[in-house]
Amino acid sequence: MNRLRRTYPVRHGDFIHAGEASIHVKNTLKSLSYCPDLVRRVAICGYEAEMNLVMHGGDGVLTVVIAADEIRLEVADTGPGIENTELAMQEGYSTARDEYREMGFGAGMGLPNMKRNSDEITVDSSPGQGTAVTMVFSVGGRCP
Amino acid sequence: MNSVHHGTGCYVSFDTSLCDGCTRCVKGCPTKALRVRHGKVVHMQSACIGCGNCLRICHTGAVRAATTDLSHLKKSRISVALVTPILYAQFPGVLPRDILKGLKRLGFHHTVDMSYFFEMFQCATEEFVRENREVGKAPWPLISPVCPVVMRLIQTRFPSLIPHIHPIMRPVAIMAKQVTRILSKHYGVNEGFISMYYINPCPTKKGDDPKTPDQSFTNGGPYAMGICDIYTQLAKEVEHVRSLDDIPMTFSSYEFEQCTSGDGLLWGMVGGEIVASHIEKSLSVSGIDETVSMLEKIEMGLFRDIEYIELRACTEGCIGGALTAIDKYLAKSACQRMINLLGTGKRLNRDRINRLYEKEWFFSRRTEQGGLVSEGFAGHSFTIEEMRKIDGLVQLINGRDCAACGAPDCRTFAEDVIRGDASADDCLVLRARGLTVAQVTEYMNR
């Protein structure tokens, strides 16, 4: 099976290294010559997902599976879980702590941004059970 | 050109007879354009952005910047020195006009200070930013076009950011355009008679090969002279000028011959471009690693609420250029003292600049189709299958990026192996484990 799978650990509260996994994914996709728009969308989603883990999710893992026809981003964490996923998908809805808002995060755009930039998204979460987000990007779908 | 120097026609060239194969430059190259093969450096020109890191790092003197020397002045009918404030900063305590006089004694017919052209650039920039707020011509953040190394970094590593590049001509290009126009009119000669020499703090120009004109300039472009190349001779002349009482400038009928200002001097240091302009939502970043990291973030869609970003490949800005002569912090202090002395403030007639702006006089063709096109690294694209093999090889080596193979790190080495540019046999770690090329290949194909 012609797929490339990579996993990256993401640590809760680690703002210094937050985003590095997404940069790595972005650069891999660039050297695989995927179209710039697709690369940008995957990078944005990866970054938002990483920030969610760093701020809310607890320790977790970001996995990317790259294939010729689609790219999958899977983000799973062991954090507190999401109480109401429907609310969390709404723009502007935020449960971020004040200190994060002061840092410029927590505008309630994380999941909505991920939804807007991916072709398919599933959020599997319940309180106390952690969260698993899977995003699928179809190759060729939105590329010129 | 010296035939031992391979890489002529690029920003830097290498004398392999002086190279001892230490791999320091290989590890320090931000675009991974260098390798050591068979004990000597190999320069991949297509990936070189002319940042000058190798020049700073090399301890054997094997690296040379593509610059023109003073003997070239004899060949030109009308020679003009284009002077940046960074040159003044190399002479703490000396007045800019004495340095300009020194340049004349070296043989330049004219010396032109850059300050006015920085102001012109700034006026045009503020105008463009204001327009962009209203009509959204370009995506935020706009990226300053001033540092040529950053431009080439975007071209090779971040082509998706080309639309972010601020479309106004670089100050040195504005300067070259104006100076050519005024001087050719004054002398009544064709523009070709005027030779301009840009006194450079960094290796920004490819070798003086007419086939590679720098797109920043209007007519084939000025020759590039490194500050450090003329420094000793210039210092002697400056000393001489200062020992005399006041000698007048030999020729100064042009207002811009001698027009240094505090605002102009600010440009030598990181943040100067921002400080002197009226763009509120702006950032300035210096140093090649920081610049790369900033571009990565912009590419991920961050910083979209910032309007303008000043990026400088050299730490502390242009005073930290690889072709400067004195310590960058001494130069910074010289700049700061001079700014105190001269004061800041704009002097240009804004209405006149705005009229030129309306006529699109300032716009570069950089972001148009065929202007600054994405170059990409030669052979840097892989298939998924190849990428899996690369991952496998990196895992197998499990090394510490020792660079003994001649590549900067294990991943780049693995990429070279897959491309066929290196052999698995070059890796000390694999050899120490007794793995043969055949065994490694078998592992990768698994």
Interface predicted TM-score (ipTM): 0.85
Same domain, B74 and B181: yes
**Residue B281 belongs to domain spanning:** 70-358
Contacts of B173 (CB under 8 A, 6+ apart): B216, B217, B218, B364
Residue B23 in domain: yes
Structure tokens at B90: 């190399």
Compare CB distances from A23 to B296, B384, B388 and report the shortest one's residue: B296
Residue B122 in domain: yes
Separation CA B413–CA B323 (nearest Å): 31
Q: Among B46, B65, B84, where does a domain finish? A: B65
- State residue B205's pLDDT score: 67
Separation CA B280–CA A7 (nearest Å): 40
Looking at mean pLDDT, say which of A136-140, B220-224, B324-328, B440-444 comes out highest. Answer: B324-328
Residue B373 in domain: no
Same domain, B397 and B418: yes
CB contact under 8 A, A26 and B296: yes
CB contact under 8 A, B381 and A67: no
Same domain, B327 and B190: yes
pLDDT at residue B213 greater than cutoff 50: no
Compare CB distances from A26 to B299, B383, B384 and report the shortest one's residue: B299
Separation CA B445–CA A41 (nearest Å): 31
B 157-216 near A (Cβ less than 8 A): 159-160
In the predicted model, what is the mean pLDDT of chain B?
85
Please give the residue of chain A at the shortest CA–CA distance from B387.
Answer: A4
Residue B437 phi, psi (nearest 5): -60, -40
Q: What is the largest CA-CA distance in chain B?
A: 81
- Interface with B, mutate which of A5, A29, A31, A40 (most B CBs under 10 A): A31
Same domain, B268 and B133: yes
Residue B434 in domain: yes
Read off the pLDDT band of B260 (50, 70, 90).
confident
How many beta carbons lie within 10 A of that of residue B252, not counting itself? Answer: 15
Residue corresponding to tokens 């809310």: A56
Same domain, B288 and B201: yes
CATH code: domain of residue B440: 1.10.15
Q: What is the mean pLDDT of residues B388-398?
A: 93
- Interface with A, mutate which of B154, B155, B293, B296 (most A CBs under 10 A): B296
How many beta carbons lie within 10 A of that of residue B86, not counting itself? Answer: 28
Residue corresponding to tokens 């007879």: B17
Same domain, B265 and B400: no
C-beta separation of B187 from B78 below 8 A: yes
Same domain, B199 and B250: yes
Structure tokens at B117: 């052209």
Residue B354 in domain: yes
Q: Is B375 on the interface with A (CB under 8 A)?
A: no
B 295-354 near A (Cβ less than 8 A): 296-297, 299-302
Residue B35 in domain: yes
Bridge-based pairing of strands A131-138 and A70-77 is: antiparallel
- Interface with B, mutate which of A32, A35, A66, A143 (most B CBs under 10 A): A32
Q: Which of B281, B334, B328, B333 is nearest to B308 (CA)?
A: B281
Residue B365 in domain: no
Same domain, B34 and B99: no
Same domain, B150 and B117: yes
Q: Is A33 on the interface with B (CB under 8 A)?
A: yes
Long-range contacts: B419-424, Cβ < 8 Å, 24+?
B419/B379, B421/B35, B422/B35, B422/B37, B424/B393
B178-188 pLDDT, tens per residue? Answer: 888 888 888 89
Q: Is B385 on the interface with A (CB under 8 A)?
A: yes
Q: Among B45, B65, B85, where does a domain finish? A: B65
Same domain, B49 and B132: no
Q: Among B13, B35, B65, where does a domain finish? A: B65
CB contact under 8 A, B302 and A47: yes
Burial of A50 (0-12, 13-18, 19+ CB in 10 A): buried
A52-81 pLDDT, tens per residue? Answer: 888 887 889 999 999 999 999 999 988 888
Read off the pLDDT band of B371 (50, 70, 90).
very low
R_g over Cα of chain B: 24
Q: Which of B68, B36, B69 is nearest to B54 (CA)?
A: B36
Domain ranges of chain A: 4-138
Q: Which residue type sits at B225?
A: M
Q: List, for chain A, all residue ranges whose pLDDT scores fall below the cut of 70.
A: 1, 103-104, 106-107, 141-144
Same domain, B145 and B292: yes
Phi-psi region of A143 (alpha: psi -120 to 50; beta: other; left: phi over 0): beta
Q: Is B446 on the interface with A (CB under 8 A)?
A: no
pLDDT at residue B105 greater than cutoff 70: yes
Compare CB distances from B300 to A4, A22, A36 and report the shortest one's residue: A22
Q: Is B428 on the interface with A (CB under 8 A)?
A: no
pLDDT at residue B125 greater than cutoff 80: yes
| Class of domain A4-138 as given by CATH | alpha beta
Q: Is A31 on the interface with B (CB under 8 A)?
A: yes
Same domain, B202 and B330: yes
C-beta separation of B320 from B314 below 8 A: yes
Structure tokens at B10: 């690029």
Write out chain A residues lying below 8 Å of B380, CB-based. 31
